[in-house]
Structure 1
């Protein structure tokens, strides 16, 4: 029905959140709310529908084996957060998916898809009072039992993990645990990651790809959940170049920890963050996601000015004071996937 009015309906799942969303013209907002309310608030979970979707998900799981750059991040999470729900693949395994039943899925929905777990986010051209009234009427899910208190994962000690597979490249992921989303150091870690490997002007890109020609894909990243996070670097290289590329990556991290970085690098990293935030506002989907995540992680709306102000107040010394410990090679786990 949404496609008939030029709209769309989709969903995605992360490690901590599931999102169901529509995109429609403003004139079709009532229809979009009706569809979402029916989908989230009153699903039927018929046996034949669940069985069909299980088959689709299993095909997606099998497809992941053909995407090593995606798969290695699952392997990293499985090692770093082993024994904790965050360690599991978002897709699950074939065994876990095959074990699902319509009754089990219905029970899960009944326990967790309840207020106050539900966040509704809207972005675009609409009348707020009218939309609020419709949402209150259609998405007033009853309160359920309190969700079990979260427990932070016990982070596994550093290790070298080898996964041998017949693929053309060697995929390397170096990671270290970090604090979670609520820790103020995450802003400094974002700057550090940008300086180290966050774009074509970053140190790893320039050293490993442009100067040495050892890899096509090289980057660093930071990833935060509510109670934990990780900071890492990724390389996709030919097997005969893996040793040199890995040594160069570690050397650059040690040098960064020892010498810090320049004011020009800070300004460049800050400009990248600022540009990403502001240009993201041109997308209604990004605005929608940002609103929901702000309430999920902060319990309130964090304005763009507030966010950018935090980055503006960071200095080279404050970034290094907050993040140097995460550059210590003794903290890092290396996961290698390749021939």
Structure 2
């Protein structure tokens, strides 16, 4: 049962990997098969040979290697991914401190108290911590230029957060907990975060309602996180079975979100010409308009070396090019030099 659950647990990661790169999807299937064999050994009572820390960091390491080895249609920098990952690791510290001070934990005296802690403390604290990791490290950056980046970077922060949790739990409970963590907790963190990650991807490119859109995704993540924690708290021994329907449901939602991005990508053109970033809210704005269409901020004249983007596809414009290297759109920048990469 644990071995089967482990393979099912990695399904959401496989969805993201296979969508951006077929080779990455195959690589992740290979990783899952290795972990399946390891889980079988644990079920037979054999010990794990690798140090706890290395085992607990398997999801995070696999995620970073995926970004390092593959270059899919959704362009992203490995440096940016690493920065998000490190922020995700760091954000486990304040989350852990808050949970320790408030006494938040899965083991409560009653079902009601378990539900209260899951929905009002653990869920909000951990999901907000992961969201802060993405918001603070990459969200306002011009490198966040693709709606799918919301899910990719949220998954990165989730893997980092879960990896640190894995190490902590293994030092407390031993190597046996790793199988359950890899089968349920780690992919669950990814699927929780995909809710607000999707909202971030949408909000980054819409004119109004940025905070409200992200808040809706965050609320959905908190609710799912709370349900997950309640199921574990009510009957930990049966959680291996009772969590599977929830995991399948969340995987289905994540698949639909990815499919929606596939259908709507690229997002509708913002017009013709050159875009810059609003210094007030970080939204893309046509340089010729002079005012941000989202917040109304009067955008000052951008410096010659400021990053500029194609209004048609949002790709960063290369120096001394008459056409966008991504979509071929003819781009004119009157009286100004093109941005340097």
State whether TM-score is above 0.5: no
The TM-score with structure 2 as length reference comes to 0.26
More helix by share: 2
* Structure possessing the higher relative contact order (Cα contacts under 8 Å, 6 or more residues apart): 1
